Structure 1
Amino acid sequence: MVSISEDGSCPPERECTFQGSLCGLLPLPSANFSWSRITGSSQPENSSGPSADHTLGTEQGYYLSAQLWNHPVGSRGAMMTAVMEPTPPHGECLMFWYYMEGSGVGELNVYLQANDINRGRVHLWSKSGDQGMHWRHGRVTLLSPETPYQVIFEAVVGDGPQRDISIDDLTVLNGACPPPGFCDFEMDFCGWVNNPPAESGVDWDWLSSESKGEFIPRRDHSTDTSLGHFAFFIPSNKKETARLESETMDVVDKACLEFWHYTQGWLVNRPSYITLTVLVNETTGLRSVWNTSGYMNDTWIQDRVDYSSSGPHQIILQASCPSSNDGSFALDDVHIIRDKSCHDIILTTTPNPTTTITAAPASPMDCSFDQGLCSWIQEDNDDLNWTVSSGLQVNEPWDGPQYDHSIGNDQGLFLVLNGSGSKNRERATISVPVISHTSHICVGFWYFMLGPSVSTLDLLVQTKSSELLVWTRQGTKNPEWMNAQVTISMNNTIQIMFTGHRNTNSKGFIAIDDITVREGVCSIQNVCGFDSSLCDFENDVSHLGRWVHKKGTKHHVDHTYGTENGFYMAVMMSNSTQTEVAQLLTPEIHSTTEMCVRFW
């Protein structure tokens, strides 16, 4: 595209790496001194500046240096951009990288100067003192929707013996800046930097699913595609620790750190060897506020962590592994919400609609268990009660799910039955009276059954004359929440019941969440796209042939997503000369009526 400016001038650059020029930056006439464009190899020995630029990460890369050692304490050097066009109403985001290392290094300020005699210089951003031996990320929202403006970078000379301040990689993006601590990892690590312990020296990697290697997530969380990026840690055979360190943030009485994690390894259905610890770095030192080992189930899991800090602080996301290299750990969509607890966020979060179909009105029999048992009651004629629990209360793998289904984190609530019984066939039952004026109702719910020895979960109906079993599952299933929908005839039905069983040798748990009851028959039952699991389908071992769980390729996409990231079932060709039959069996279906099976 070719464009011609009517006034004959070129627009200011919206990105500057300093590799070829100063990009239109000029010394501020009222300042005491100007900055210099230099490389790491050309800086003098008495400078505390970086040995490599941020763009290339080499000694040959260029950046802008204030060279403060040349000037008296308290003097000010400033550079200003060319005149920029007015911003959109919601502003623009200026992102840049700065380097300030050593005590008494000085102060870096950013100002907005509008070309309006009625508006003075606006102070937008400031940092002072030692920021460590790293390029740090800075960002500030520029707001001048009515008048053109300039941005001013000012360095104030400190009293340190090797003082210097440098900047690199200036970028102006549309829209206001994200809050401190936010990162979706689509462009880079944002304001987070690798700063591992000296004895480890291992970094988090910035990858996408297109990257080569073992145990890499098939999709990121932000875009849900193979092109999206995330932070990734995979240890070698020795003990290793990697740390991602946030920018420095101000005092906060309460805050909620949100992020998504993913673990994968050779084995499933067990905790990862890798531990993720959330640390708060304060002037008094490091303070641990939360940790998890994750659960290797090939799924992105959301975590929320409450914290507070009485002074300037950083958040550190630390991954550590004692010895084994069996697995990986990934992070995505990090977000810090200030002045709110995680409980506040859960109560005010409204999920986005996932379909344009008008949903049936809620029933008084519905329950997510986040506010207790709703209309459901614990029966008295059983052996024990179900427990309302959350992932925060799960200390061992077989205690319960590490996250609920409603919210998808360790603070959401669900109903769980775990441990071993004092006798075989111990029962825990919850029930609800049926309220309906139609001939059929659809009971939907999510269940999670996992462990070496798990008993039975039953759905029953109580009629005026008898108790009927309408759905049941037994034994360990896939390490995830699974959906069930059951159509129930309302002929004489007066009550619905969920009963969980356990035996003296039981080890594991049965959990249920998000019960819904709708009038009419269930419109969709037993849907399986084969993406997160086999949905209890299994090969008939009485035949020689086998169905195989296959991931799509560029030339053979699945039907669910229409991409190479989806999964499907396939029968592979064999070199055998005899006829082979492959049979795929559905889960057991309890129905005496006609059914419709749809497939692609």
Structure 2
Amino acid sequence: MMLSHWVLLLSLGAVQLAEGAEISPGSCTFEDSTCAYTSAFPFLQWTVNTEGHYVSVDSSNGSRGQKAVLISPDLHLAEWSCLRLVYQIAGSESSPSPSSLNVFVRPEGESFDYLLWSAEEHSDSWLISSIDLKNTTKRFKIILEGVLGLDAMSSVAIFEVKMSTGYCIECDFEENHLCGYMNSWNPNVNWFVGGGNVKNSHSILPRDHTLNNEFGHYMYVDSVYVKHFQEVAQLVSPLITTPISGCLSFYYQLQRESSNIFLVHTRDLHGSYDEIWKMGLVRQGEWNLAEVDLNAPVPLEVIFEVAFNGIQAGYVALDDISFSPVSCSGQQGMFFDAREAGCDFEESMCHFHQDDNNGSGWSRVKVKPNAYQMGDHTSGLGYFMIANTRFTGQPGYFGRLYGPSLPGNIQYCLRFFYSLYGFYKTTDSLAVYIFEENHVVQEKIWSAHETPKGVWLQAEISIHKPMPFKVVFVSWCKSFWDCGIAAVDDISVSMGSCQISGYYMYIEATNMVFGQKARLISKQLRAFTGKQCLTFFYHMYGAGTGLLNVYLSKESDINKDTLLWTRKGEQSITWLKAQIEYESEQQHKIVFEAVRGISIRSDIGIDDIMFQNGPCSDSSDPLQSSGYSDNFNEIDF
């Protein structure tokens, strides 16, 4: 298999900081040490290979699942920065448990390491990864974690870590790693490095734009190698993993003896392309500036694509790619945070508003739960939205709850929980519509069908519209005798399509005997000071349901777990939310334990486990997450 040009450069060991150049904080070439990075106890030690100038951990000094952790010194980013990592993971491609390399950030004063990037792909050469880091007022550390796989010859190696100011998508091509840009290999037409001592083209190539001399570097693609009509060469940027919005600019030069095409696309993780720029009339033989607005709310690659019509089509050269958070028109780039389009209604209606011109409208309410009526979905004790109460709704009444405006041409996933009560027929009693900005109805995208009444149910809708729009929840009171309560809660919006089906963990009671236990154990979690919050959802429904326990297992006391939380017996037909505050100044694990009840209908499920730094946001009654008493429908055994 032929490798991309930049990979060949890396395999020759050319990826090094300029000799004598000042090494920026957080950077290291591992020439003869780990610089200011330190190995963390009690994990495996990273070994410095002074001949190859890299650090590694392999199966000769560790076993499957063991990891080596390298911790950076304290870092501070006053400006947006890019972390580049040159690495290699070796082992068998068919291994069921491959080695992996993970990069975390550890903010000062917080209890958790946040995953920035992870890889487990094996290769025979060095690879490069680029990670954007937002500027922050907090100091932090970078954590490099190598985890050994099952293969007897597994290893993880790091050749270089480089921290530089600017966006990862920016590049002047003066360094051999090419900023992580990669040529998408084609048998005939490819992007190459030009300038410097490279003299491998029949075309008269330009001087670079950065240095404006023959020693500077740029990327170019030449038609001299074209064999077929409309052959395409693609130069692919590193993946943009941190949302950005602003102006992408670059310089290009071409010599065109016949028609050719130069385009810029974006490509998401699903492989969908979106053209954002196309070359028009330009001055040949000199550098031309191109600017285009780039909005990357989800992970994207930027692709520079050239298509030639024949061997006499000349060349296209590219240099000095840069990015600014200010749009090309001069306005500050406004990145849309999809999370702001959701609401749990605990504190307010957020960015939602109601349309009550024709009736009582939607109301934000709080209901005290009991065995005959449920509370809100978030905690069982909070607020949610209801419409069409039986005694205030008018025949033919429509209640509309408008969401905030959403930018167009982006894929969204809308999730919410709803409940219906008192309707003779639930069909169309609650629906979701798309409205244009001027409140004109565009289309209905969802409606409730015949569903269980009086319980919280979840709905997911994938939405993609070319123009800005609003999501509107509409409840219809058809007549006095068919006018019940429609409720919604925990509305969320995220980028990307909804998953067709979600996953959760559960015990299957039919395969167990009464009193039998099943344990789900977390990975090792590091020590922390203060409090942190564990949040998860659980499902306990069915006569004879058993126990669900959550334990804290400390490293120093592995034979005695501390009970943090418990539920016994049937709780609800819907998923319920639980929050647990706990402290641990030692390394520890969290253990979920399900105990089978007296009935084969006593399945227990858990989902959406999340840890957060600091106390739980709703800690008024951390054990009362279902809205019912601890012994509601309790089964003694």
State the TM-score bracket (shorter-chain normalisation): 0.3 to 0.5
Compute the TM-score of the two structures, normalised by the length of structure 1.
0.40
Structure-2-length-normalised TM-score: 0.38
